[in-house]
């Protein structure tokens, strides 16, 4: 989005009102902030000062989709007046059934801008400043202006990036540099909400091993012996599309491309007597669509907003630090304290130690880093203090280090060596200490 577009939207945003209508729209908030009670936080001091802080508290919402729309609405109705929102997507027809800030006339427009306009139109006195773009577009100076950050994302990579950024911003001598991160996520009837205090509590990276490993299918299976409808769809997208269309890139948002995949997969399924290939399943496989239910979004968004309110006002102790919600079998919630890992690659105080088979090639070691549930890198570049082992970019450096991929680890590193790793998923580098082990750990 151009600067002109950004400026024009920000000019529409009126600053938060100085004379707040505590007897009208936000009277219910005043009742919660004007008195103490048996469940209040020990640091809570009721009265005008805490109400004014809530009014000027600057909060960032990342994501304006199913969760983000609910969070923005809840924040505006909970007394927050200075809200910012970031989203890189535009509105699609498929969003309208659960992302209630959008209308059919908004299709094609940026989600962040439309959501900001809607909230400010419906809740007078609230300023919502949108940014149509990626979170990676902004630097630490931008994020340092906020008191709180809430994530309503559907991307693990984006969560890892903002988590690492906020951890990296912490200055031990400046308490204000700690920006609490509240993260919410849903999948069908299940969801989670958590509070992350960078460098104090368990961070997002500490809990990577809790994530389900992405579903993959062996090429030999989808090419020769398909047994599931998903195998047929993968065959159509991974093998048949490039064979038929050459260098033409598959656009998973193009209905014609999805229709081609559906027809091709259906024909292959019929040949192998496999049933179950549908247009919806085809979309789900190639786009890795996570099922979304509006009511689950509402539950998790409410939990995230409540935690933001509790942190901003100290009116009630906040979540410590992970809440799981399961609605697919009755209704079940479970809260526990996820422990911080001393060797976490982002917030840990010691290096990550990896047991390495000296017979591995460097390529096998890189594959291990991408598969390890505690690390989960995507395209790592590796270097020792005195030499580069393998660099993904720029092209000249990648070519210069490519020969190392076939070399064995025993010829490249020694036990105790520390490898500096950079990756697309993280805004910071991580340090891996190598310990050789004759037994493979993969």
Q: Catalytic residue numbers?
A: 220
Nearest Cα to Cα of residue 196 among 338, 348, 399, 376: 338
By the 8 A CB rule, do 86 and 345 touch? no
- How far, in Å, CA of 133 to CA of 144, rounded? 18
**Cα separation values, 352 from 213, 360, 365, 384, 418, Å:** 21, 19, 14, 15, 9
Read off the DSSP letter of residue 394: S
* β-bridge mates for residue 434, sequence order: 354
Secondary structure (DSSP) of 123-165: STT-EEEEEES-GGGS-HHHHTT-SEEEE--S-HHHHHHHHHH
The position carrying tokens 């996820």 is: 338
How is the beta sheet containing 148-151 ordered, strand by strand? 127-132, 82-87, 58-62, 148-151, 181-187, 190-196, 322-326, 332-336
The position carrying tokens 């065959």 is: 235
Strands (E), 343-429: 352-356, 381-384, 387-390, 418-422
- How far, in Å, CA of 436 to CA of 323, rounded? 38
φ and ψ at 31, to 5 degrees?
-60, -30
Residue-level length of the chain = 442
- Residue 232's CB is within 10 A of a number of other CB atoms, namely 30
- Residue 214's CB is within 10 A of a number of other CB atoms, namely 8
By the 8 A CB rule, do 401 and 393 touch? no
Torsion region of 314: left, alpha or beta (phi above 0 gives left; psi -120 to 50 gives alpha): left
Nearest Cα to Cα of residue 54 among 79, 29, 31: 79
């Amino acid at each position: 989005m151009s600067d002109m577009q950004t400026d024009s939207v920000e000019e529409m945003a009126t600053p938060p009102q100085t004379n707040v209508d505590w007897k009208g729209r936000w009277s219910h908030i005043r009742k919660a902030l004007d008195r103490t009670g048996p469940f209040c936080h020990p640091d809570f001091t009721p009265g005008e000062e805490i109400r004014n802080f809530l009014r000027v508290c600057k909060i960032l919402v990342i994501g304006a989709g199913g969760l983000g729309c609910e969070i923005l609405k809840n924040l505006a109705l909970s007394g927050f007046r200075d809200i910012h929102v970031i989203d890189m997507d535009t509105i699609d027809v498929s969003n309208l059934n659960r992302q209630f800030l959008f209308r059919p006339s908004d299709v094609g427009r940026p989600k962040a801008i439309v959501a900001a306009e809607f909230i400010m139109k419906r809740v007078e006195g609230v300023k919502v400043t949108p940014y149509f773009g990626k979170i990676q577009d902004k630097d630490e100076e931008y994020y340092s202006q906020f008191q709180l950050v809430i994530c309503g994302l559907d991307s693990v990579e984006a969560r890892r990036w903002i988590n690492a950024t906020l951890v990296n911003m912490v200055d031990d001598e400046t308490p204000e540099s700690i920006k609490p991160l509240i993260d919410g996520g849903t999948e069908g009837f299940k969801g989670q909400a958590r509070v992350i205090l960078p460098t104090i509590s368990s961070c997002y990276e500490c809990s990577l091993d809790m994530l389900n490993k992405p579903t993959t299918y062996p090429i030999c299976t989808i090419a020769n012996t398909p047994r599931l409808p998903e195998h047929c769809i993968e065959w159509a997208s991974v093998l048949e599309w490039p064979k038929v269309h050459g260098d033409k890139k598959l656009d998973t948002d193009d209905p014609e491309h999805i229709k081609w995949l559906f027809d091709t997969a259906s024909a292959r399924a019929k040949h192998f007597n496999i049933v179950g290939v549908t247009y919806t399943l085809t979309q789900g496989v190639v786009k890795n669509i996570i099922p979304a239910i509006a009511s689950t979004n509402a539950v998790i968004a409410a939990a995230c907003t409540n935690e933001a309110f509790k942190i901003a006002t100290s009116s009630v102790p906040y979540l410590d630090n992970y809440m799981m919600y399961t609605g697919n079998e009755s209704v079940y919630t479970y809260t526990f304290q996820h422990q911080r890992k001393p060797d976490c690659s982002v917030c840990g105080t010691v290096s990550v130690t990896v047991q390495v088979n000296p017979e591995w090639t460097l390529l096998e070691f890189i594959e291990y880093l991408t598969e390890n549930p505690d690390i989960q890198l995507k395209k790592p570049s590796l270097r020792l203090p005195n030499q580069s082992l393998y660099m993904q970019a720029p092209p000249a450096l990648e070519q210069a280090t490519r020969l190392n991929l076939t070399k064995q680890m025993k010829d490249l590193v020694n036990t105790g060596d520390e490898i500096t790793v950079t990756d697309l998923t993280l805004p910071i580098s991580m340090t891996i200490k190598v310990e050789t082990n004759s037994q493979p750990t993969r």
